[in-house]
Chain A
Amino acid sequence: MKEMKEGRAGAALVTAVLLSLAGVLLAHGALVLAHAELTASQSARRSLRLDFLSEGAVLAAIEGSGVRSAGVGVVAADSLAGSDGTASWFGRLRRISSEIWLAEGRAEDGPARRAVAVPIWRADPATRVDAIGAVVVTGGTAAINGLSQVRIEGGNGESEAAPPGGCSTDTGDERALLPWRSDVDSSAITLGLLSLDSLITRADVRLLAEGTPAPTARLGVCLENPLNWGDPYGFGTPCRDRLPVVEVGPGVVIAGGVGQALVVASGDITLRDTDFFGAILAEGEVTLEGRSEVTGLIAGRGGVSISTEASVAGSRCWAEAAFRAVPLGNAIPIPPVRWIRLDG
Protein backbone atom coordinates (compact mmCIF):
# COMPACT_ATOMS: atom_id res chain seq x y z
CA MET A 1 0.00 0.00 0.00
CA LYS A 2 2.77 2.28 0.97
CA GLU A 3 4.61 1.46 -2.26
CA MET A 4 1.50 2.25 -4.34
CA LYS A 5 1.13 5.61 -2.65
CA GLU A 6 4.77 6.38 -3.26
CA GLY A 7 4.36 5.29 -6.94
CA ARG A 8 1.37 7.67 -7.47
CA ALA A 9 3.17 10.50 -5.75
CA GLY A 10 6.20 9.85 -7.97
CA ALA A 11 4.06 9.89 -11.16
CA ALA A 12 2.35 13.11 -10.05
CA LEU A 13 5.71 14.65 -9.32
CA VAL A 14 7.07 13.68 -12.73
CA THR A 15 3.92 15.04 -14.42
CA ALA A 16 4.13 18.25 -12.43
CA VAL A 17 7.78 18.65 -13.33
CA LEU A 18 7.10 17.99 -17.01
CA LEU A 19 4.19 20.45 -17.03
CA SER A 20 6.31 23.03 -15.27
CA LEU A 21 9.02 22.44 -17.79
CA ALA A 22 6.57 22.87 -20.66
CA GLY A 23 5.21 26.01 -18.99
CA VAL A 24 8.73 27.35 -18.63
CA LEU A 25 9.44 26.59 -22.27
CA LEU A 26 6.25 28.36 -23.31
CA ALA A 27 7.06 31.34 -21.12
CA HIS A 28 10.53 31.35 -22.55
CA GLY A 29 9.08 31.34 -26.07
CA ALA A 30 6.85 34.27 -25.16
CA LEU A 31 9.83 36.04 -23.66
CA VAL A 32 11.90 35.46 -26.78
CA LEU A 33 9.05 36.80 -28.92
CA ALA A 34 8.66 39.81 -26.64
CA HIS A 35 12.39 40.42 -26.77
CA ALA A 36 12.37 40.16 -30.56
CA GLU A 37 9.50 42.63 -30.64
CA LEU A 38 11.38 44.99 -28.35
CA THR A 39 14.51 44.76 -30.48
CA ALA A 40 12.50 45.32 -33.65
CA SER A 41 10.70 48.28 -32.08
CA GLN A 42 13.99 49.81 -30.96
CA SER A 43 15.41 49.23 -34.41
CA ALA A 44 12.36 50.84 -36.01
CA ARG A 45 12.64 53.75 -33.60
CA ARG A 46 16.31 54.19 -34.46
CA SER A 47 15.49 53.97 -38.16
CA LEU A 48 12.74 56.59 -37.86
CA ARG A 49 15.06 58.81 -35.88
CA LEU A 50 17.77 58.52 -38.53
CA ASP A 51 15.18 59.27 -41.24
CA PHE A 52 14.07 62.33 -39.31
CA LEU A 53 17.61 63.57 -38.67
CA SER A 54 18.91 62.98 -42.21
CA GLU A 55 15.86 64.59 -43.82
CA GLY A 56 16.09 67.48 -41.38
CA ALA A 57 19.75 67.90 -42.33
CA VAL A 58 18.75 68.13 -46.01
CA LEU A 59 16.20 70.82 -45.23
CA ALA A 60 18.75 72.69 -43.10
CA ALA A 61 21.24 72.56 -45.98
CA ILE A 62 18.63 73.96 -48.39
CA GLU A 63 17.61 76.66 -45.92
CA GLY A 64 21.20 77.74 -45.48
CA SER A 65 22.04 77.60 -49.16
CA GLY A 66 21.97 81.39 -49.65
CA VAL A 67 25.43 81.83 -48.21
CA ARG A 68 27.11 78.97 -49.99
CA SER A 69 29.05 78.78 -53.18
CA ALA A 70 31.30 76.22 -54.77
CA GLY A 71 32.65 75.22 -58.15
CA VAL A 72 31.17 72.29 -60.03
CA GLY A 73 32.22 69.01 -58.45
CA VAL A 74 33.19 70.66 -55.19
CA VAL A 75 31.56 70.18 -51.83
CA ALA A 76 30.49 73.51 -50.37
CA ALA A 77 32.91 74.23 -47.57
CA ASP A 78 30.52 75.16 -44.81
CA SER A 79 28.44 72.14 -43.90
CA LEU A 80 25.93 72.11 -41.07
CA ALA A 81 26.29 69.60 -38.26
CA GLY A 82 24.67 68.72 -34.96
CA SER A 83 23.86 65.91 -32.58
CA ASP A 84 20.83 64.57 -30.80
CA GLY A 85 21.65 62.23 -27.95
CA THR A 86 23.69 59.38 -29.34
CA ALA A 87 22.95 60.32 -32.95
CA SER A 88 24.83 62.89 -35.01
CA TRP A 89 23.89 64.51 -38.31
CA PHE A 90 25.27 66.85 -40.91
CA GLY A 91 23.94 68.50 -44.05
CA ARG A 92 25.85 69.92 -46.98
CA LEU A 93 25.56 70.96 -50.59
CA ARG A 94 27.36 69.47 -53.56
CA ARG A 95 27.38 71.29 -56.85
CA ILE A 96 26.64 68.80 -59.64
CA SER A 97 26.44 71.22 -62.56
CA SER A 98 26.23 74.96 -63.04
CA GLU A 99 22.72 75.15 -61.55
CA ILE A 100 22.05 71.70 -60.08
CA TRP A 101 23.09 70.96 -56.51
CA LEU A 102 22.52 68.01 -54.23
CA ALA A 103 21.40 68.92 -50.74
CA GLU A 104 22.66 65.98 -48.70
CA GLY A 105 21.75 64.91 -45.21
CA ARG A 106 23.59 62.21 -43.29
CA ALA A 107 22.84 60.81 -39.84
CA GLU A 108 24.60 58.21 -37.71
CA ASP A 109 23.62 56.41 -34.53
CA GLY A 110 26.22 53.82 -33.62
CA PRO A 111 26.59 51.42 -36.53
CA ALA A 112 23.33 52.59 -38.12
CA ARG A 113 23.64 55.20 -40.86
CA ARG A 114 21.29 57.01 -43.20
CA ALA A 115 22.13 59.30 -46.12
CA VAL A 116 19.59 60.98 -48.36
CA ALA A 117 19.67 63.84 -50.85
CA VAL A 118 17.34 66.13 -52.74
CA PRO A 119 18.38 67.79 -56.03
CA ILE A 120 17.95 71.53 -55.87
CA TRP A 121 18.25 74.29 -58.40
CA ARG A 122 19.97 77.64 -57.92
CA ALA A 123 20.13 80.21 -60.67
CA ASP A 124 23.60 80.82 -62.01
CA PRO A 125 23.73 84.32 -63.53
CA ALA A 126 26.12 83.39 -66.37
CA THR A 127 24.05 80.34 -67.28
CA ARG A 128 20.87 82.40 -67.26
CA VAL A 129 22.34 84.99 -69.60
CA ASP A 130 23.46 82.17 -71.88
CA ALA A 131 19.96 80.70 -71.82
CA ILE A 132 18.37 83.99 -72.83
CA GLY A 133 21.19 84.63 -75.25
CA ALA A 134 19.96 87.87 -76.77
CA VAL A 135 19.89 91.59 -76.12
CA VAL A 136 16.19 91.67 -76.81
CA VAL A 137 14.01 88.59 -76.33
CA THR A 138 10.40 88.88 -77.23
CA GLY A 139 7.53 86.48 -76.94
CA GLY A 140 5.38 88.83 -79.04
CA THR A 141 6.23 91.28 -81.81
CA ALA A 142 9.51 93.14 -81.99
CA ALA A 143 9.08 96.67 -83.30
CA ILE A 144 12.62 97.92 -83.67
CA ASN A 145 13.25 100.89 -85.91
CA GLY A 146 16.64 99.96 -87.30
CA LEU A 147 19.51 97.71 -86.28
CA SER A 148 21.61 100.61 -85.05
CA GLN A 149 19.37 100.86 -82.01
CA VAL A 150 20.42 97.40 -80.78
CA ARG A 151 24.12 97.07 -80.16
CA ILE A 152 26.33 94.32 -78.82
CA GLU A 153 29.02 95.63 -76.54
CA GLY A 154 31.68 93.95 -74.46
CA GLY A 155 32.38 94.76 -70.83
CA ASN A 156 30.22 97.54 -69.55
CA GLY A 157 29.39 98.87 -72.97
CA GLU A 158 30.63 102.29 -74.01
CA SER A 159 29.24 103.75 -70.83
CA GLU A 160 31.31 105.03 -67.94
CA ALA A 161 29.03 103.08 -65.65
CA ALA A 162 29.98 99.72 -64.14
CA PRO A 163 27.93 97.28 -62.11
CA PRO A 164 28.58 96.83 -58.39
CA GLY A 165 31.46 94.43 -57.97
CA GLY A 166 32.43 94.81 -61.62
CA CYS A 167 32.17 92.02 -64.14
CA SER A 168 32.82 88.40 -63.20
CA THR A 169 36.26 87.24 -64.27
CA ASP A 170 34.70 84.30 -66.12
CA THR A 171 31.90 86.28 -67.69
CA GLY A 172 33.34 86.00 -71.17
CA ASP A 173 32.05 89.34 -72.36
CA GLU A 174 33.57 88.74 -75.74
CA ARG A 175 30.80 86.22 -76.42
CA ALA A 176 28.19 87.86 -78.56
CA LEU A 177 24.56 88.14 -77.61
CA LEU A 178 22.11 87.84 -80.47
CA PRO A 179 20.57 91.20 -81.40
CA TRP A 180 17.14 89.81 -80.60
CA ARG A 181 15.11 86.65 -80.61
CA SER A 182 11.43 86.52 -81.39
CA ASP A 183 11.24 82.78 -81.95
CA VAL A 184 11.20 81.93 -78.26
CA ASP A 185 8.58 80.08 -76.33
CA SER A 186 7.03 82.55 -73.92
CA SER A 187 8.03 80.22 -71.10
CA ALA A 188 11.65 81.15 -71.87
CA ILE A 189 11.08 84.54 -70.31
CA THR A 190 11.88 83.33 -66.84
CA LEU A 191 14.93 82.91 -64.73
CA GLY A 192 15.19 79.15 -65.16
CA LEU A 193 12.93 77.45 -62.63
CA LEU A 194 12.11 80.87 -61.19
CA SER A 195 8.94 82.03 -62.91
CA LEU A 196 8.15 85.71 -63.17
CA ASP A 197 5.67 85.27 -60.30
CA SER A 198 8.42 83.75 -58.16
CA LEU A 199 10.73 86.61 -59.05
CA ILE A 200 8.04 89.11 -58.10
CA THR A 201 7.78 87.57 -54.65
CA ARG A 202 11.53 88.10 -54.29
CA ALA A 203 11.39 91.79 -55.24
CA ASP A 204 13.09 94.28 -52.93
CA VAL A 205 10.77 97.15 -53.83
CA ARG A 206 7.46 97.66 -55.63
CA LEU A 207 6.61 100.47 -57.99
CA LEU A 208 2.93 100.64 -58.80
CA ALA A 209 2.65 104.14 -60.35
CA GLU A 210 4.65 106.40 -62.67
CA GLY A 211 7.93 107.57 -61.25
CA THR A 212 11.45 108.74 -61.94
CA PRO A 213 14.26 106.62 -60.50
CA ALA A 214 17.20 108.43 -58.94
CA PRO A 215 19.82 107.59 -56.32
CA THR A 216 18.73 108.92 -52.92
CA ALA A 217 21.03 109.16 -49.92
CA ARG A 218 20.87 110.97 -46.61
CA LEU A 219 23.79 111.51 -44.27
CA GLY A 220 25.88 109.13 -46.33
CA VAL A 221 23.32 106.34 -46.16
CA CYS A 222 21.60 105.03 -49.27
CA LEU A 223 17.85 105.02 -48.70
CA GLU A 224 15.55 102.20 -49.63
CA ASN A 225 12.59 103.43 -51.58
CA PRO A 226 10.81 102.20 -54.71
CA LEU A 227 12.46 104.85 -56.90
CA ASN A 228 16.01 104.46 -55.65
CA TRP A 229 17.54 102.11 -58.21
CA GLY A 230 21.12 102.73 -57.22
CA ASP A 231 23.81 104.88 -58.79
CA PRO A 232 25.52 103.32 -61.84
CA TYR A 233 27.74 106.37 -62.43
CA GLY A 234 28.50 107.31 -58.84
CA PHE A 235 31.79 105.63 -58.01
CA GLY A 236 32.28 105.83 -54.25
CA THR A 237 28.82 107.25 -53.60
CA PRO A 238 26.47 105.71 -50.97
CA CYS A 239 24.14 104.14 -53.55
CA ARG A 240 26.92 102.70 -55.68
CA ASP A 241 26.21 99.10 -54.61
CA ARG A 242 22.44 99.29 -54.63
CA LEU A 243 21.02 97.14 -57.43
CA PRO A 244 17.51 96.13 -56.38
CA VAL A 245 15.01 93.65 -57.77
CA VAL A 246 12.07 95.92 -58.64
CA GLU A 247 8.52 94.77 -59.18
CA VAL A 248 6.79 97.16 -61.56
CA GLY A 249 3.01 97.09 -61.75
CA PRO A 250 1.07 96.74 -65.04
CA GLY A 251 1.17 99.74 -67.38
CA VAL A 252 3.63 101.74 -65.29
CA VAL A 253 5.69 104.43 -67.06
CA ILE A 254 9.22 105.12 -65.94
CA ALA A 255 9.68 108.79 -66.76
CA GLY A 256 13.30 109.82 -67.10
CA GLY A 257 15.85 109.14 -64.39
CA VAL A 258 18.73 106.74 -64.03
CA GLY A 259 19.14 103.41 -62.31
CA GLN A 260 20.54 99.92 -62.14
CA ALA A 261 18.16 97.06 -61.35
CA LEU A 262 16.52 93.81 -62.26
CA VAL A 263 13.06 94.99 -63.26
CA VAL A 264 10.30 92.40 -63.18
CA ALA A 265 7.12 93.81 -64.69
CA SER A 266 3.81 92.05 -64.11
CA GLY A 267 2.34 93.68 -67.26
CA ASP A 268 3.37 96.30 -69.83
CA ILE A 269 6.18 98.67 -68.96
CA THR A 270 7.33 101.89 -70.67
CA LEU A 271 10.67 103.63 -70.23
CA ARG A 272 10.60 107.24 -71.39
CA ASP A 273 13.96 109.04 -71.57
CA THR A 274 15.38 106.69 -68.91
CA ASP A 275 19.03 105.69 -68.59
CA PHE A 276 18.81 102.11 -67.36
CA PHE A 277 21.40 99.40 -66.58
CA GLY A 278 20.56 95.77 -65.82
CA ALA A 279 17.77 93.54 -67.06
CA ILE A 280 14.06 93.90 -67.71
CA LEU A 281 11.80 90.83 -67.65
CA ALA A 282 8.15 91.59 -68.43
CA GLU A 283 4.88 89.67 -68.62
CA GLY A 284 3.63 92.28 -71.12
CA GLU A 285 5.19 94.57 -73.72
CA VAL A 286 8.37 96.55 -73.08
CA THR A 287 8.34 99.97 -74.77
CA LEU A 288 11.33 102.28 -74.95
CA GLU A 289 10.33 105.84 -75.79
CA GLY A 290 12.20 109.14 -76.26
CA ARG A 291 15.92 108.91 -75.67
CA SER A 292 15.80 105.89 -73.39
CA GLU A 293 18.96 103.83 -73.19
CA VAL A 294 19.10 100.32 -71.78
CA THR A 295 22.40 98.53 -71.15
CA GLY A 296 21.96 94.84 -70.38
CA LEU A 297 19.06 92.84 -71.80
CA ILE A 298 15.30 92.96 -72.25
CA ALA A 299 12.82 90.07 -72.38
CA GLY A 300 9.16 90.83 -72.95
CA ARG A 301 6.47 88.17 -73.21
CA GLY A 302 4.19 90.69 -74.94
CA GLY A 303 6.86 91.94 -77.33
CA VAL A 304 9.39 94.74 -77.41
CA SER A 305 9.05 98.14 -79.04
CA ILE A 306 11.97 100.52 -79.42
CA SER A 307 11.33 104.01 -80.80
CA THR A 308 13.68 105.76 -83.23
CA GLU A 309 15.69 107.71 -80.67
CA ALA A 310 15.89 104.96 -78.02
CA SER A 311 18.58 102.29 -77.95
CA VAL A 312 19.61 99.02 -76.30
CA ALA A 313 23.18 97.92 -75.72
CA GLY A 314 23.64 94.24 -74.99
CA SER A 315 25.88 93.62 -72.01
CA ARG A 316 26.46 90.25 -70.41
CA CYS A 317 28.21 92.02 -67.60
CA TRP A 318 25.18 94.13 -66.64
CA ALA A 319 22.71 91.31 -67.24
CA GLU A 320 24.66 89.01 -64.93
CA ALA A 321 24.93 91.73 -62.32
CA ALA A 322 21.15 92.13 -62.43
CA PHE A 323 20.57 88.37 -62.06
CA ARG A 324 23.02 88.23 -59.17
CA ALA A 325 20.66 90.60 -57.34
CA VAL A 326 17.98 87.92 -57.02
CA PRO A 327 17.99 86.64 -53.45
CA LEU A 328 18.61 82.95 -53.84
CA GLY A 329 18.52 82.09 -50.16
CA ASN A 330 15.62 79.79 -50.86
CA ALA A 331 17.00 77.41 -53.44
CA ILE A 332 14.33 75.46 -55.26
CA PRO A 333 13.88 71.70 -54.81
CA ILE A 334 13.44 70.46 -58.37
CA PRO A 335 9.89 69.25 -59.03
CA PRO A 336 8.79 66.55 -58.70
CA VAL A 337 10.76 66.44 -55.48
CA ARG A 338 12.54 63.12 -55.18
CA TRP A 339 14.33 61.92 -52.08
CA ILE A 340 17.39 60.03 -53.26
CA ARG A 341 18.94 57.34 -51.07
CA LEU A 342 22.70 57.61 -50.98
CA ASP A 343 23.34 54.64 -48.70
CA GLY A 344 21.75 51.88 -50.73
Chain B
Amino acid sequence: MALLLTALLLGVTLRAYDTLRAAGQRLIRRSAEVTALRSTRTVLTSELRDGVAGVDWAPYPPDSIRLRVFRSMGTVCGPPTDSSLVVRRGVGRRPEPGKDSVLILSGVGAWEVYALTSWSPGASCQPGWEFADSTETRVERWTVAPYPEDPAVLLLFEVGSYHLSGGALRYRRGRGGRQPLTEEVLGEVRLLDTLGALRAALPLGPGAEITVRLATSPEGR
Protein backbone atom coordinates (compact mmCIF):
# COMPACT_ATOMS: atom_id res chain seq x y z
CA MET B 1 0.00 0.00 0.00
CA ALA B 2 2.78 2.31 1.02
CA LEU B 3 4.73 1.50 -2.14
CA LEU B 4 1.66 2.08 -4.27
CA LEU B 5 0.99 5.43 -2.71
CA THR B 6 4.65 6.39 -3.04
CA ALA B 7 4.68 5.39 -6.73
CA LEU B 8 1.45 7.34 -7.30
CA LEU B 9 2.91 10.38 -5.62
CA LEU B 10 6.09 10.06 -7.65
CA GLY B 11 4.11 9.75 -10.89
CA VAL B 12 2.02 12.82 -10.12
CA THR B 13 5.15 14.72 -9.16
CA LEU B 14 6.97 13.79 -12.37
CA ARG B 15 3.91 14.63 -14.47
CA ALA B 16 3.54 17.96 -12.73
CA TYR B 17 7.23 18.68 -13.16
CA ASP B 18 7.06 17.83 -16.84
CA THR B 19 4.03 20.06 -17.35
CA LEU B 20 5.66 22.91 -15.50
CA ARG B 21 8.89 22.50 -17.47
CA ALA B 22 7.02 22.54 -20.79
CA ALA B 23 5.05 25.59 -19.66
CA GLY B 24 8.29 27.30 -18.69
CA GLN B 25 9.84 26.53 -22.05
CA ARG B 26 6.76 27.81 -23.88
CA LEU B 27 6.96 30.96 -21.81
CA ILE B 28 10.61 31.48 -22.71
CA ARG B 29 10.00 30.73 -26.40
CA ARG B 30 7.00 33.04 -26.46
CA SER B 31 9.04 35.78 -24.84
CA ALA B 32 11.84 35.38 -27.40
CA GLU B 33 9.30 35.31 -30.24
CA VAL B 34 7.52 38.44 -29.08
CA THR B 35 10.82 40.26 -28.59
CA ALA B 36 11.98 39.29 -32.10
CA LEU B 37 8.65 40.35 -33.61
CA ARG B 38 8.77 43.67 -31.84
CA SER B 39 12.37 44.28 -32.92
CA THR B 40 11.52 43.37 -36.52
CA ARG B 41 8.59 45.75 -36.64
CA THR B 42 10.48 48.59 -34.92
CA VAL B 43 13.56 48.29 -37.13
CA LEU B 44 11.67 48.01 -40.42
CA THR B 45 9.11 50.75 -39.75
CA SER B 46 11.84 53.09 -38.58
CA GLU B 47 14.16 52.43 -41.54
CA LEU B 48 11.40 52.60 -44.14
CA ARG B 49 9.99 55.79 -42.70
CA ASP B 50 13.30 57.56 -43.37
CA GLY B 51 13.05 56.81 -47.09
CA VAL B 52 10.60 57.35 -49.88
CA ALA B 53 8.76 54.31 -51.21
CA GLY B 54 9.86 53.40 -54.71
CA VAL B 55 12.76 55.85 -54.58
CA ASP B 56 14.77 54.94 -51.49
CA TRP B 57 13.42 51.43 -50.94
CA ALA B 58 11.64 48.66 -52.77
CA PRO B 59 10.19 45.40 -51.46
CA TYR B 60 11.07 42.04 -52.98
CA PRO B 61 8.36 39.74 -51.60
CA PRO B 62 8.16 37.32 -49.99
CA ASP B 63 11.10 38.12 -47.73
CA SER B 64 13.42 40.99 -48.80
CA ILE B 65 13.55 44.78 -48.88
CA ARG B 66 16.36 46.65 -50.63
CA LEU B 67 16.93 50.18 -49.41
CA ARG B 68 19.05 53.21 -48.78
CA VAL B 69 19.79 53.17 -45.07
CA PHE B 70 20.25 56.74 -43.90
CA ARG B 71 22.93 57.04 -41.24
CA SER B 72 23.42 60.74 -40.70
CA MET B 73 22.50 64.17 -42.01
CA GLY B 74 24.47 67.33 -42.47
CA THR B 75 24.17 70.89 -43.65
CA VAL B 76 26.77 72.90 -45.52
CA CYS B 77 28.22 75.49 -43.17
CA GLY B 78 30.81 77.32 -45.20
CA PRO B 79 31.69 78.26 -48.74
CA PRO B 80 33.29 75.39 -50.68
CA THR B 81 37.07 75.32 -50.77
CA ASP B 82 39.55 73.06 -52.61
CA SER B 83 36.65 71.04 -54.01
CA SER B 84 35.49 69.84 -50.60
CA LEU B 85 32.51 70.80 -48.48
CA VAL B 86 32.49 71.98 -44.88
CA VAL B 87 29.62 70.05 -43.35
CA ARG B 88 27.97 70.31 -39.97
CA ARG B 89 26.89 66.73 -39.28
CA GLY B 90 24.24 65.73 -36.79
CA VAL B 91 24.23 62.59 -34.68
CA GLY B 92 24.69 59.23 -36.36
CA ARG B 93 27.65 57.16 -37.36
CA ARG B 94 30.63 58.79 -39.02
CA PRO B 95 31.02 58.64 -42.80
CA GLU B 96 32.96 55.83 -44.47
CA PRO B 97 34.24 56.82 -47.93
CA GLY B 98 33.98 54.01 -50.44
CA LYS B 99 31.02 52.46 -48.65
CA ASP B 100 28.75 55.43 -48.18
CA SER B 101 27.00 57.66 -50.68
CA VAL B 102 25.44 61.06 -50.18
CA LEU B 103 22.03 62.28 -51.22
CA ILE B 104 22.33 66.03 -51.66
CA LEU B 105 19.52 68.56 -51.79
CA SER B 106 20.58 71.50 -53.94
CA GLY B 107 19.67 75.12 -53.38
CA VAL B 108 17.04 74.91 -56.11
CA GLY B 109 15.30 71.98 -54.44
CA ALA B 110 16.56 68.93 -56.36
CA TRP B 111 17.84 65.69 -54.79
CA GLU B 112 20.89 64.05 -56.41
CA VAL B 113 23.09 61.10 -55.41
CA TYR B 114 26.87 61.56 -55.10
CA ALA B 115 29.75 59.27 -54.12
CA LEU B 116 31.61 60.14 -50.94
CA THR B 117 35.29 60.07 -51.89
CA SER B 118 36.96 61.42 -48.75
CA TRP B 119 36.15 62.56 -45.25
CA SER B 120 38.12 64.21 -42.48
CA PRO B 121 37.14 65.56 -39.05
CA GLY B 122 38.10 68.83 -37.47
CA ALA B 123 36.94 71.54 -39.87
CA SER B 124 35.25 74.71 -38.69
CA CYS B 125 32.20 76.57 -39.90
CA GLN B 126 32.54 79.99 -41.42
CA PRO B 127 31.26 82.89 -39.33
CA GLY B 128 27.68 83.59 -40.27
CA TRP B 129 27.06 79.96 -41.20
CA GLU B 130 26.72 78.73 -37.63
CA PHE B 131 23.49 77.60 -36.12
CA ALA B 132 22.73 78.37 -32.52
CA ASP B 133 22.11 74.76 -31.51
CA SER B 134 25.40 73.19 -32.46
CA THR B 135 26.02 71.14 -29.33
CA GLU B 136 25.12 67.78 -30.85
CA THR B 137 26.91 68.26 -34.14
CA ARG B 138 30.39 67.90 -35.58
CA VAL B 139 32.04 69.94 -38.29
CA GLU B 140 33.83 67.90 -40.94
CA ARG B 141 35.21 68.16 -44.43
CA TRP B 142 33.54 65.98 -47.07
CA THR B 143 34.57 65.48 -50.68
CA VAL B 144 31.95 64.11 -53.03
CA ALA B 145 32.03 63.29 -56.72
CA PRO B 146 31.03 64.86 -58.97
CA TYR B 147 31.36 68.24 -57.31
CA PRO B 148 27.86 69.48 -56.43
CA GLU B 149 26.48 72.87 -57.32
CA ASP B 150 24.93 74.80 -54.46
CA PRO B 151 24.49 71.96 -51.95
CA ALA B 152 22.27 72.64 -48.95
CA VAL B 153 21.31 69.42 -47.13
CA LEU B 154 23.34 66.19 -47.19
CA LEU B 155 22.01 62.76 -46.24
CA LEU B 156 24.61 60.06 -45.72
CA PHE B 157 23.44 56.59 -46.66
CA GLU B 158 24.61 53.06 -47.33
CA VAL B 159 22.87 50.60 -49.61
CA GLY B 160 21.64 47.50 -47.85
CA SER B 161 18.85 44.98 -47.65
CA TYR B 162 16.74 43.42 -44.94
CA HIS B 163 15.77 39.78 -45.16
CA LEU B 164 13.19 37.84 -43.18
CA SER B 165 14.70 34.42 -43.62
CA GLY B 166 15.93 31.52 -41.51
CA GLY B 167 13.63 32.54 -38.68
CA ALA B 168 15.29 35.91 -38.11
CA LEU B 169 15.47 39.48 -39.37
CA ARG B 170 18.79 39.82 -41.16
CA TYR B 171 20.63 42.83 -42.54
CA ARG B 172 22.98 42.72 -45.48
CA ARG B 173 25.21 45.74 -46.05
CA GLY B 174 26.30 46.16 -49.65
CA ARG B 175 27.51 42.81 -50.85
CA GLY B 176 28.35 41.48 -47.41
CA GLY B 177 26.80 38.55 -45.61
CA ARG B 178 23.36 38.48 -44.01
CA GLN B 179 23.82 39.26 -40.34
CA PRO B 180 20.98 38.22 -38.01
CA LEU B 181 19.52 41.04 -35.94
CA THR B 182 17.12 38.88 -33.93
CA GLU B 183 17.03 35.37 -32.50
CA GLU B 184 16.07 32.70 -35.01
CA VAL B 185 12.59 32.18 -33.62
CA LEU B 186 10.37 33.98 -36.11
CA GLY B 187 8.95 31.13 -38.14
CA GLU B 188 7.94 31.83 -41.71
CA VAL B 189 7.48 35.59 -42.10
CA ARG B 190 5.99 36.91 -45.36
CA LEU B 191 6.06 40.42 -46.80
CA LEU B 192 2.77 41.47 -48.37
CA ASP B 193 2.86 44.37 -50.83
CA THR B 194 -0.83 44.95 -51.36
CA LEU B 195 -3.56 47.54 -50.86
CA GLY B 196 -1.12 50.44 -51.04
CA ALA B 197 0.85 49.31 -48.01
CA LEU B 198 3.77 47.04 -47.23
CA ARG B 199 2.81 44.61 -44.50
CA ALA B 200 4.48 41.71 -42.75
CA ALA B 201 2.55 38.58 -41.86
CA LEU B 202 4.14 37.25 -38.68
CA PRO B 203 3.36 33.81 -37.25
CA LEU B 204 2.65 33.95 -33.54
CA GLY B 205 2.09 30.60 -31.89
CA PRO B 206 0.64 27.51 -33.55
CA GLY B 207 -1.94 28.39 -36.19
CA ALA B 208 -1.94 32.11 -35.34
CA GLU B 209 -0.65 34.98 -37.44
CA ILE B 210 -0.61 38.73 -37.05
CA THR B 211 -0.22 41.25 -39.85
CA VAL B 212 1.56 44.53 -39.15
CA ARG B 213 1.78 47.56 -41.45
CA LEU B 214 5.38 48.60 -42.11
CA ALA B 215 5.01 51.49 -44.57
CA THR B 216 3.16 52.85 -47.52
CA SER B 217 4.18 50.69 -50.47
CA PRO B 218 5.58 52.08 -53.75
CA GLU B 219 2.16 51.49 -55.32
CA GLY B 220 0.52 53.42 -52.51
CA ARG B 221 2.51 56.62 -52.97
Interface positions of A (Cβ within 8 A of B): 4, 8, 11-12, 15, 18-19, 22-23, 25-26, 29-30, 33, 36-37, 40, 44, 72-75, 94, 96-100, 102, 119, 121, 131, 192-193, 332, 334, 336-344
The docked-state distance in angstroms from the alpha carbon of A29 to that of B150 is 59
Chain A residue nearest in CB terms to B77: A73
Q: Which residues of A contact B92 (CB under 8 A)?
A: 341, 344
The docked-state distance in angstroms from the alpha carbon of A97 to that of B150 is 9
Within 8 Å by CB of B153, from A119, A192, A341, lies A119
Please report whether the interface of chain A is mostly helix, strand, loop or mixed according to DSSP: mixed
- List, sorted by A's number, 25 A–B pairs whose CB atoms are closer than 8 Å: A15-B9, A15-B12, A22-B17, A23-B20, A25-B24, A29-B27, A33-B27, A33-B31, A40-B38, A44-B42, A73-B131, A96-B152, A97-B152, A98-B107, A119-B105, A131-B108, A192-B108, A192-B109, A336-B55, A338-B52, A339-B49, A340-B70, A342-B91, A343-B91, A344-B91
Q: Which residues of B contact A75 (CB under 8 A)?
A: 131-133
Within 8 Å by CB of A99, from B13, B76, B90, B109, lies B109
Within 8 Å by CB of A8, from B5, B20, B28, B77, lies B5
Kindly state whether residue B50 has any CB partner on chain A within 8 Å. Answer: yes
Chain A residue nearest in CB terms to B155: A340
Kindly state whether residue B51 has any CB partner on chain A within 8 Å. Answer: yes
Residues of B in contact (CB 8 Å), total 47
**Does the CB pair A37–B34 fall under 8 Å?**
yes
Q: Which residues of B contact A18 (CB under 8 A)?
A: 13
Given A97-B152, A102-B153, A344-B90, A26–B24 Cβ distance below 8 Å? Answer: yes
The docked-state distance in angstroms from the alpha carbon of A26 to that of B19 is 11
**Does the CB pair A100–B31 fall under 8 Å?**
no
**Does the CB pair B155–A338 fall under 8 Å?**
yes
Kindly state whether residue B111 has any CB partner on chain A within 8 Å. Answer: yes
A-contact bits for B25-41, CB 8 A (1 contact / 0 none): 00110110010001000
The docked-state distance in angstroms from the alpha carbon of A99 to that of B106 is 10
Q: Which residues of A contact B50 (CB under 8 A)?
A: 338-341
The docked-state distance in angstroms from the alpha carbon of A97 to that of B50 is 23
**Does the CB pair B9–A11 fall under 8 Å?**
yes
Kindly state whether residue B23 has any CB partner on chain A within 8 Å. Answer: yes
Q: Which residues of B contact A19 (CB under 8 A)?
A: 13, 16-17, 20
Kindly state whether residue B129 has any CB partner on chain A within 8 Å. Answer: yes
The docked-state distance in angstroms from the alpha carbon of A192 to that of B91 is 31
Within the complex, what minimum Cβ distance (angstroms) separates B154 from chain A?
10
Q: Which residues of A contact B81 (CB under 8 A)?
A: none
Kindly state whether residue B135 has any CB partner on chain A within 8 Å. Answer: no
Within 8 Å by CB of B6, from A8, A25, A121, lies A8
**Does the CB pair B5–A97 fall under 8 Å?**
no
Within the complex, what minimum Cβ distance (angstroms) separates B4 from chain A?
11
Docked complex: B53-82 residues within 8 A CB-CB of A: 55-56, 70, 73, 75-77
Chain A residue nearest in CB terms to B130: A73
Within the complex, what minimum Cβ distance (angstroms) separates A80 from chain B?
16
Within the complex, what minimum Cβ distance (angstroms) separates A310 from chain B?
33
Kindly state whether residue B128 has any CB partner on chain A within 8 Å. Answer: yes
Chain B residue nearest in CB terms to A4: B2
**Does the CB pair A99–B20 fall under 8 Å?**
no
The docked-state distance in angstroms from the alpha carbon of A214 to that of B61 is 65
**Does the CB pair B105–A334 fall under 8 Å?**
yes
The docked-state distance in angstroms from the alpha carbon of A342 to that of B155 is 11
Identify the 5 closest CB pairs spanning chains A and B, nearest first: A344-B91, A336-B52, A100-B152, A97-B152, A97-B107
Chain A residue nearest in CB terms to B12: A15
